[in-house]
Amino acid sequence: MAKKATGKHRADVEINILESFELRSRRSVREAEEARLSRAARRQAKKLAKQDRAYFAAKQAGADQGSAAYLVPSQKRTPFYARRAVRNTVTMSIASGLFATFALPAYAYDPDIAAMSRFTTTDAEALANSEDTQNLTVAAVNTVKFARGNYKSADADEIARQETLNSYRTYSGPTAADYLANPPYSKLDGTSILKVAANYVGTPYVFGGDTPRGFDCSGYVAFVFAQFGVAMPHSVHGQARLGIPIRAEDAMPGDLVIMNDMSHDGIYAGNGNFYHAPRPGDSVKLAPIYTSQVHYIRLMTN
């Protein structure tokens, strides 16, 4: 039977056991740490290897592209028939042949055809001098080129307006000033005023017009009253200040009809109608007074 350790020897054994346990513990810890470090190292190595592969791949690609700039492309061999000199020679030969063909004299007849046509010879000079041959000399050929112009469709209203203006500009008859110098009517009365006003029905409207070839509203009124020796300005405002304002129920034929905004005027004809030159595109007419915003001016003396 083994003796149980006692005393110092026993203590030494216990110390050895503790040291062995501590050594094993330390070794386990160290091995575990080395294993952990080994796994981390492997991961880091894999990461670095991946980065290296990417780097060298990019570098290789750049090197390939850079080297491509120094590559001399192979020269494509041009076939013989496609060479410039050969093409030019063939082209000129064909052109010369075509030119020579077109330049052949028109009198190069086949003998059989000439005989059928009752030509006794195919000689050009003899044929040209023959009395039975009709000679035709073409001195020049004129080519007429027709180009489509840029035209706009004509507007009927615009054509009518231009014709009216041309007619107005060529008027040579008596003017309002002529009538004022020698008025044909000595008495200013409604019947005579309406008679003169009616003479110009159908006269086209012309802005600023004051002759029977074209009137605007105030020009028409001034021209009518000029024949009675009444001088009136060519203006609605000026004509409105010449007479005496009267009430609508007291208005009589021959009075002036003035729009309240001074935009238009005419000659009252009775029964709510008046003679006036309405607007562009229209003409002098007898028409109903189209608004109640009017007032009346009397010029005549009863």
pLDDT on residue 277: 97
If residue 246 lies in a helix (H) or strand (E), which one and from where to where? strand 244-246
Question: Between 294 and 11, where is the model more confident?
Answer: 294
Question: Between 300 and 224, where is the model more confident?
Answer: 224
Q: Specify the pTM.
A: 0.50
> Which amino acid belongs to residue 177?
A
Distance CA 225, CA 209 (A): 15
Given a cut of 60, whether residue 115 has pLDDT beyond it is: no
* Backbone conformation region of residue 111, classed left if phi is above 0, alpha if psi is from -120 to 50, else beta: alpha
Confidence class for position 78, pLDDT limits 50, 70, 90: low
What percent of the chain is modeled with pLDDT above 70? 67
Per the DSSP assignment, residues forming a β-bridge with 148 are none
Provide the token pair at 292: 């109640």
Provide the token pair at 90: 């063939």
Encode burial over 2-30: b for 16+ CB neighbours within 10 A, e otherwise.
eeeeeeeeeeeeeeeeeeeeeeeeeeeee
**Residue at 109 is within a domain:** no
**Residue at 5 is within a domain:** no
Provide the token pair at 182: 């020698």
Distance CA 77, CA 37 (A): 65
Q: What is the mean pLDDT of residues 289-293?
A: 95
pLDDT on residue 135: 47
**Residue at 139 is within a domain:** no
**Residue at 236 is within a domain:** yes
Total domains in the chain come to 2
Q: Please, how many CA atoms are within 13 Å of residue 218, restricted to the half-sphere of its CB?
A: 19
Confidence class for position 107, pLDDT limits 50, 70, 90: very low
Q: Which CATH number characterizes residue 275's domain?
A: 3.90.1720.10
16-61 residue pLDDT tens = 666 676 777 777 877 887 887 778 888 888 888 888 888 888 877 7
**Residue at 106 is within a domain:** no
Confidence class for position 118, pLDDT limits 50, 70, 90: low
Q: Would you give the DSSP letter of residue 266?
A: E
Instruction: Report the chain's terminal Cα–Cα distance, integer Å.
Output: 177
At 89 the three-state DSSP class reads: helix
Question: Between 20 and 213, where is the model more confident?
Answer: 213
Of residues 132, 126, 91, the one with CA closest to residue 107: 126
pLDDT on residue 80: 62
**Residue at 285 is within a domain:** yes
Return mean pLDDT, the chain: 79
Question: Between 151 and 267, where is the model more confident?
Answer: 267
177-212 residue pLDDT tens = 999 999 999 899 999 999 999 999 999 999 999 999
Active-site residue, 264 included: yes
Q: Which residue is catalytic, options 9, 237, 276, 295?
A: 276
Active-site residue, 237 included: no
Confidence class for position 141, pLDDT limits 50, 70, 90: very low
Given a cut of 80, whether residue 102 has pLDDT beyond it is: no
Provide the token pair at 204: 């086209």
Which range of 6-20, 112-126, 134-148 scores highest in mean pLDDT? It is 6-20
Lowest mean pLDDT among 14-18, 71-75, 128-132, 142-146: 142-146
User: What residue numbers bound the domain in which 185 lies?
Assistant: 174-298
Of residues 32, 34, 53, 54, the one with CA closest to residue 42: 34
Q: Which residue is catalytic, options 9, 217, 234, 237?
A: 217
| Helix/strand/coil percentages in the chain, nearest 5 | 45, 10, 40
If residue 270 lies in a helix (H) or strand (E), which one and from where to where? strand 265-270
pLDDT on residue 148: 56
**Residue at 71 is within a domain:** no
Cα–Cα distance list, 33 to 19, 80, 204 (Å): 21, 80, 117
Provide the token pair at 245: 């304002």
Q: Are 275 and 197 in contact (CB under 8 A)?
A: yes
Q: What are phi and psi of 198, to 5 degrees?
A: -70, -20
Active-site residue, 217 included: yes
**Residue at 140 is within a domain:** no
